[in-house]
Amino acid sequence: MMKDAIILLSGGMDSGVLLAWARPRYERVHAISFDYGSKHAAKELAMAAALAREYDATFTKVGLPFMNELFSSSLLTSGEEIPDGPYREDSISSTVVPFRNGIMLSIAVGLAENLHVQEVLIASHSGDHPIYPDCRKEFTQAMSLAATLGTFARVSVEAPFAGFDKRAIARVGREAGLDFTMTWSCYKGLNLHCGTCATCIERKQALEHENGLDPTRYTA
Amino acid sequence: MMKDAIILLSGGMDSGVLLAWARPRYERVHAISFDYGSKHAAKELAMAAALAREYDATFTKVGLPFMNELFSSSLLTSGEEIPDGPYREDSISSTVVPFRNGIMLSIAVGLAENLHVQEVLIASHSGDHPIYPDCRKEFTQAMSLAATLGTFARVSVEAPFAGFDKRAIARVGREAGLDFTMTWSCYKGLNLHCGTCATCIERKQALEHENGLDPTRYTA
C-alpha cells in the first residue's frame, strides 16, 4: 500500500518539481505553504495553490505573521531591498530568514502528526548548501530524528533531492511533465521574473535559458 | 563573560522556575511566549508577561493562530472538553497538541539566530516523558543538533530540568525565591485553578499541598 505525504510547497521551482515527482509515488499528498511576509508571497502562494489543484493535493496555507515582525531579512516586506547579482555570501546573506526551514518543517510535522501522515517532504538540494545552513542534508537528518522522536506517528522528514543540484531538479521536472510557468522563483515578486536577482540567475541556469529550454518570461 | 539566553516561558510553574533559576546565570534573558489558542492562554500569558517584568527579561509574544485552526486537541479552544482526573494515557492524550514543543523551539531558535543568542532553554522534565513524546530528553537533544546545524550562530537547546521531576522543580523554585502565585497551571483557564484537572493534581503534589506549602488558591 502506498503511503501519504506532506510536501512543503512554496510555489518555487524546486518544490514544484518535488510535487510533480512525488504525486505518482504517494496515495494522498497534502501540500502546505507558508505566508511569512516575504516580498514574493503573493506570487509564490498563488502558484502553490494552482500547483496543488493541478496535482490533486490538498492545500493548506499557514500564516506566520510573527516572522515579518520579529525577524530581519531583505526577503521580508519589513526588510531592506533585495540585492541584485548572483549568490555570494556577502550579498545574499541579507536574504536569510532565521531558521526558516526549521520552523516550516516543525509545523509540517505537527500537521503530519495531526493527520496521521508519516512522511514530510522538503525540496532542499545541494545547490543551497553553502549559503543557508538550514538547507544542508545534516540539518534535515537531525530534524527528521527530532520529528520521529517527538511524535506518536514517528514522522520522518525526507529530502529526495538532497544529492541533486538545481539543474538535475529541472531535469526531473521535465521528465515528470511539469509546466515550469506554474512555478515562481523571483524574490522581488513583481509581475514578471526580474531575471537579475540571484534566484532568477539560478533559475535561468537550471532551466538552460541559454539553450532555449526555459519557458519563463523575464523582464531582463 | 556570561552568555545571553532565550527562555520558552509559558507562564506555567515549570518555566516560571526556569526563569527564576536562569536569571542570575545569564547576562540578558529573553522570554518568548506563544499564543496558540489554548483555553488557558489568557491566564498563562498574563502570568508570563508579569514574570518577565519581575525578572528583568525582555518579553516577546508570538501568535500562532494556525494551531487552533489546523490541530485537534482538547487543550485548544476549538477542541472538546478538558478531561478531569490524574494523567492517564487514555484521558490525557486528548490534550496533546501535535509537536508543540518542536514548533515552539524552532521559532525560539529563529529568534535566537536573529538576536545572535546561542542558547534556548526549555523547562522539559522527567515527569512529562511518558505521555508527551516531544518532552523527552532524546527529542530535545535531536532538536538541539538540528538548531546547531541549521543556524549561523550554532544555537543549542538546553533542558536544565531534564533529569528532575516536578517536585524537584518546585524545590528549585523555592530556593530561587519564586512566588508561585505568579505561575498558572490549570488547563481550564477559569478564575482560580480548578484543582481537579490532571495538571492541577500534579501542581498540588509538586508544591506539597498536603503539607501546607502550596500558596495556590484552588476551586476544589
Q: Is the pLDDT score of A182 beyond 90?
A: yes
Specify the amino acid at residue A15: S
Band of residue B57 on the pLDDT scale cut at 50, 70, 90 = very high
Give the start-to-end residue ranges of the domains of chain A: 5-211
User: Considering only CB atoms, which chain B residues are within 8 Å of A90?
Assistant: none
Tell me, yes or no, if B120 comes closer than 8 A to chain A by beta carbon. no
Supply A105's cell numbers.
Answer: 518543517
CA B16 to chain centre: 8
Taking an 8 Å cut-off on Cβ atoms, the answer to whether A110 and B103 are in contact is: yes
Residue B92's pLDDT band (boundaries 50, 70, 90)? low
CA distance B12 to chain A (A): 21
| Whether B113 contacts chain A with CB within 8 A | yes
In chain A the first and final C-alpha atoms are separated, in Å, by 48
Q: Where are the beta strands (DSSP E) in chain A?
A: 5-8, 29-35, 58-63, 119-121, 156-158
Highest mean pLDDT among A78-82, B53-57, B184-188, B193-197: B53-57
B102 vs A98: CB contact, 8 Å cut-off?
A: no
**Pick among B69, B107, B115 to test the A interface (most A CBs inside 10 A):** B107
Task: Report the residue of chain B nearest A115, measured CA to CA.
Answer: B71
List of chain A residues whose C-beta atoms are within 8 Å of the C-beta of residue B109 = 98-99, 102
Chain A residues in contact with B60 (beta carbon < 8 A): 70
| Start-end of H helices in chain A | 13-22, 41-54, 65-70, 89-92, 100-115, 137-149, 166-175, 198-206
Q: Which three cell numbers stand for residue A119?
A: 512522511
* pLDDT tier at B67, thresholds 50, 70, 90: confident
List of chain A residues whose C-beta atoms are within 8 Å of the C-beta of residue B103: 103, 106-107, 110
Q: Which of B36, B68, B94, B106 to mutate to test binding with chain A, by most A CBs within 10 Å of its CB?
A: B106
- Helices B13-22, B41-54: axis angle to 10 degrees equals 10
Q: Assess whether pLDDT exceeds 70 at residue B118.
A: yes
Closest chain B C-alpha to A100 CA, distance in angstroms: 7
Predicted confidence (pLDDT) per residue in B20-42, tens digit: 999 999 999 999 999 988 878 88
Q: What is the ipTM of this complex?
A: 0.90
User: Mind listing the pLDDT tens digit for each residue in B167-177?
Assistant: 999 999 999 99
Task: Check A114 against B72: CB less than 8 A apart.
Answer: yes
A113/B98 touch (CB, cutoff 8 Å), yes or no: yes
Residues 66-95 of B with CB under 8 A from A: 66-67, 70-72
Of A88 and A161, the structure prediction assigns the larger pLDDT to A161
Q: What is the CATH number assigned to the segment(s) B5-211?
A: 3.40.50.620
Lowest-confidence region among A129-143, A200-214, B191-205: A129-143
Nearest CA in chain B to A112: B98
What pLDDT sits at residue B212? Answer: 93
Give the three-state DSSP class for B133.
helix
Q: Which residue of B has its CA nearest to A138?
A: B149
Residues of chain A with C-beta less than 8 angstroms from the C-beta of B155: 99
> What mean pLDDT comes out for the span B9-29?
97
Nearest by CB to B107, from A62, A103, A110: name it.
A103
- Which chain A residue lies closest to B72 (C-alpha atoms)? A114
Reduced to 3 states (helix: H, G, I; strand: E, B; else coil), residue B191 is coil
> Contact, A46 vs A76, CB < 8 A?
no
Give the number of C-alpha atoms closer than 13 A to the C-alpha of residue B89, restricted to the C-beta side: 4
Q: Tell me the CA distances in angstroms from B92 to A19, A116, B37, one per residue in order.
A: 37, 18, 18
pLDDT above 60 (res A16): yes
> What does each C-alpha distance from B27 to A48, B55, B56, B84 come to in angstroms?
44, 12, 11, 41
Instruction: State the pLDDT at residue B133.
Output: 86
* Average pLDDT over every residue of B69-89: 71
The closest CB to that of A60, out of B63, B70, B97, belongs to B70
Q: Give me chain A's average pLDDT, please.
A: 90
pLDDT of residue A71: 81
Binary contact (B99, A109; C-beta < 8 A): yes
User: Is the pLDDT score of A135 beyond 90?
Assistant: no
